[in-house]
Structure 1
Amino acid sequence: MIIGLDHVGVATADPAGAGSLLALLGLSMEDRGEAADYGVDCEFWTPTKGGPSVELVSPRDEQAAVSGRLARKEQGLYHVAFEVDHLEGELDRLRREGFVLVDQEPRAGARHGMRVAFVYARRPAALLIELVEYRRSGVPS
């Protein structure tokens, strides 16, 4: 089941510049990490009063998942991420509903305890969606 909006991903080749923009808007960097399977560095910027984050996604090299998009000068909104309570179950449900699975299996995300998988909704929005599950320490998976 989808629990709520976790973050909005923004693709950028200039994370320092994009971070400065987010700081001007009143957000502060809460967390950063690497999503090694995707070849990207990620920064999570959060509004002062909390709520979903803006994730800056930047490539570590030309093989990164986002590199092709940035080469086409398509910086900006990259994906919308929803937190789910059971990642494999949501992948299976969305596949049955006609979503295209970008990831067949969950992968490690950029935050501690974060597992992710991407799906693509061709219609009606041509939207890349990230499903996020947090594994809390001491909680069975």
Structure 2
Amino acid sequence: MKAEITLAGAEFVQRLSSTHRGARLARRLAVHQLDEWGVPYGSELSDDVAVIVAELATNAVVHGSVPGRDFELRLTIGAAGLRIEVSDARGERRPEACEREPGAEAGRGLRLVEALAEKWGVAERVVGKTVWAECRTGGFAP
């Protein structure tokens, strides 16, 4: 079943604690919001977004955390599809998808994002950075 979102310009924004619990909550909130927008749990888009948000939020917690600072999850629906943004307070560490040794237990997150998203990138902010990914929404009708 193709997802159909009919809320052009809709946006969801949530600040979360820079903890592993916050990263888990970001994933849950994202798929819940998609369901509210008409993309059912367990659909291909919902599952892809769950993985992307999980990876970006985990990176924000593990690599972008500054003591006492939260990270932000933002989902935006536009004419091109769904944009996922995770912003953290650390600007000096720029994420990049890199090759890892076979059997390595970490380091594949951005490769997953790269595989699931149409495109992704990093934008600087006054404080910190935003890592974003864009996904097509299938039957999106703005």
Q: Which protein is richer in strand relative to its size?
A: 1
State the TM-score, normalized to the length of structure 1: 0.34
State the TM-score, normalized to the length of structure 2: 0.34
Q: Higher RCO, 1 or 2 (CA under 8 Å, sep at least 6)?
A: 2
Q: Which protein is richer in helix relative to its size?
A: 2
